[in-house]
Amino acid sequence: MNRFELALVVLSSIALPALVAAPVFAEAHVCSGERPESVLRCYARAYAHRDSAALALLLARDYVAVESSGAKQKRLDYGDALRTAGRLFGSPKVAWIEVQFGKPQAVRAAQEPETWILRHVPVRVHVQGAGAGRLLSREVHKLLTLWVRLEADPQPHYVIFREERRDPGRE
């Protein structure tokens, strides 16, 4: 089973809204950029277009996210990340989503072949929606470190297999 078929199976099994096959190939091609940093553009585009299928192809099946906030740590796996994004993407209360990434402080090869670490990537997530008859807006700033690898199936493309999120100013 290739990554496209696997993404369809996973997404259909967790009932993410509005799964359309057409954008999947468009997003998969976008992430085949020449550099590992191309995942940032793909990540932002998947959220802006509420494209669950593109996000499923961007995150590796062994994806893990760890978010540190003070002494607390929250851990998400591939399925958790897709369900969380699916709720956000499918919410009628969300008018738009914007994700903006800054330049990584460093991009370096990791120990495993064809893997890289994008260290200290500033990100701003802005979600705007409506509730109780008024416009609501929420903006979150985080600092990310992403582990990226090049995969060959169905064509060469980059995926994110680990993500660490923390508040800016916390090392």
Examine residue 73 and state whether it is found in any structural domain, yes or no: yes
pLDDT in tens, 103-159: 999 999 999 999 999 999 999 999 988 776 777 888 889 999 999 999 987 788 899
Q: How many Å apart are CA 152 and CA 3, to the nearest integer? A: 10
Examine residue 113 and state whether it is found in any structural domain, yes or no: yes
Q: Which of 22-26, 47-51, 58-62, 68-72 has the lowest mean pLDDT?
A: 22-26
CATH number at residue 92: 3.10.450.50
pLDDT at 60 over 70: yes
Examine residue 115 and state whether it is found in any structural domain, yes or no: yes
Q: What average pLDDT does the chain have?
A: 81
Alpha carbon of 42 to those of 39, 56, 133: distances in Å? 5, 11, 33
> How many other β-carbons are positioned within 10 Å of the β-carbon of residue 59?
25
Strands (E), the chain: 59-69, 72-77, 94-101, 106-109, 115-131, 134-151, 157-166
Examine residue 158 and state whether it is found in any structural domain, yes or no: yes
Confidence of residue 170 (pLDDT cuts 50, 70, 90): low
pLDDT at 25 over 90: no
Examine residue 103 and state whether it is found in any structural domain, yes or no: yes
Examine residue 118 and state whether it is found in any structural domain, yes or no: yes
Q: How many Å apart are CA 120 and CA 102, to the nearest integer? A: 9
CB 117 within 8 A of CB 147: yes
Q: State the pLDDT at residue 136.
A: 81
The alpha carbon of residue 25 and the mean position of all alpha carbons in its chain are separated, in whole angstroms, by 16
Q: How many Å apart are CA 154 and CA 3, to the nearest integer? A: 7
Q: How many Å apart are CA 115 and CA 160, to the nearest integer? A: 10
Examine residue 76 and state whether it is found in any structural domain, yes or no: yes
The count of domains in the chain is: 1
Residue 66 structure tokens = 């760890």
The alpha carbon of residue 105 and the mean position of all alpha carbons in its chain are separated, in whole angstroms, by 19
Q: How many Å apart are CA 143 and CA 146, to the nearest integer? A: 10
Question: Which pTM was predicted?
Answer: 0.78
Confidence of residue 24 (pLDDT cuts 50, 70, 90): very low
CB 165 within 8 A of CB 141: no
Examine residue 171 and state whether it is found in any structural domain, yes or no: no
Domain containing residue 71:
3-166
